[in-house]
Amino acid sequence: MACSRYGRRWRRSSGPRCWQIGANFANDVFDFERGADTHDRLGPQRATQQGWISAAQMKRAMWLCFAAATAVGLYLTYVAGWEVFALGLLSIAAAYLYTGGPKPYGYLGLGDLAVFLFFRPGRGGRNVLRAGTVAVSARAGRVHPHRRSRHAILVVNNLRDIETDARAGKLTLAVRLGDGRTRAYYLLLLGVAYLVPALLWGSRLADAWVMMPWLSLPLALRVAARTRHERGLALNGLPRGHGAARGHLRPAVRARPRVVRIAGRARKPRPAAL
């Protein structure tokens, strides 16, 4: 029984993981080809820009990852229906067009919206597999504090790369907002990640366990203080601080299905149509 349960978990998670690896490969090669990744890059080194792998090889690896994700998606489609396959195709298109294609939306300031919709890709698909409805997935996604924390990491990375992105014509949201407003936007996202559990608890949609993320508040305040004044290479250390804080956010993520079920029990079931 346990092996069967873990096997199902692996099948649900392997597709999204292949998708995410393919998305990282796409960003690596297309940012290099468009001139966003040069020797002036302040972020972690990337394989194509460093010459560790050719652009053609990276693209082949990208398509192999997307093909593997599609193969898993076909199986999940057989299990759960066409909605999973549609979600998978949309996710692959979003990953490719983020930095690839004739007009990548990551270069137009829409990358933050994509992270909001596709963070932890396939999470919605796994909810569909469990509950059999898209409505539960959509409702659960709105109470996902962990997502806001990861969104904030993207903002920090874009804040670090404002100058190099602007020179390369990569008009991220950080480039459009400017340094000061991007920092304020980051603090807003970090605050929302802690506000959501409090709202859930205060509205009695979840018990006190949903407040577990608040144990990481001192770490978050330390990260927020650094964000207010650090620049350039110094911002590279902030994702590590987020990693520690997100470890305390996970209990709220695990409580999410319970939140939905509690909300569901509070409502009387509708009578079946005659």
pLDDT tens, N- to C-terminus, the chain (274 residues)? 444 554 455 555 688 889 889 999 999 999 999 988 888 787 788 899 999 999 999 999 999 999 999 998 888 888 888 888 888 899 899 999 999 999 999 999 888 888 777 655 444 444 444 444 433 333 444 444 555 566 777 888 888 888 888 988 899 999 999 999 999 998 888 888 888 888 988 888 888 888 888 888 888 888 888 888 777 776 776 655 555 455 545 544 444 444 444 444 444 444 444 3
Residues 261 and 148 in one domain: yes
Can you tell me which residue has the tokens 């290479």? 233
Domain-located, residue 115: no
Domain-located, residue 117: no
User: At which of 49, 80, 105 does a domain end?
Assistant: 105
DSSP annotation of 210: G
Domain-located, residue 99: yes
3-state DSSP helix/strand/coil percent for the chain, to nearest 5? Answer: 80, 0, 20
User: At which of 52, 80, 105 does a domain end?
Assistant: 105
Q: How many structural domains comprise the chain?
A: 2
Domain-located, residue 22: yes
Domain-located, residue 94: yes
Question: Which of 227, 234, 141 minimizes the C-alpha distance to 191?
Answer: 227
Residues 156 and 252 in one domain: yes
User: At which of 105, 133, 154 does a domain end?
Assistant: 105
Residues 150 and 101 in one domain: no
Q: CA–CA distance from 66 to each of 15, 50, 95, 137, 208 (Å)?
A: 9, 24, 9, 23, 40
What pTM did the predictor assign? 0.70
Domain-located, residue 217: yes
Residues 85 and 32 in one domain: yes
CB atoms within 10 A of CB 82: 8
Residue 40 burial (10 A CB sphere; 0-12, 13-18, 19+): exposed
Domain of residue 214, residue span? 142-265
Measured CA to CA, the distance from residue 50 to residue 45 in angstroms comes to 7
Domain-located, residue 83: yes
Residues 229 and 184 in one domain: yes
Measured CA to CA, the distance from residue 59 to residue 25 in angstroms comes to 7
Residues 168 and 237 in one domain: yes
Residues 90 and 161 in one domain: no
Radius of gyration of the chain (CA): 20
Domain-located, residue 130: no
107 CA to centre of own chain = 18
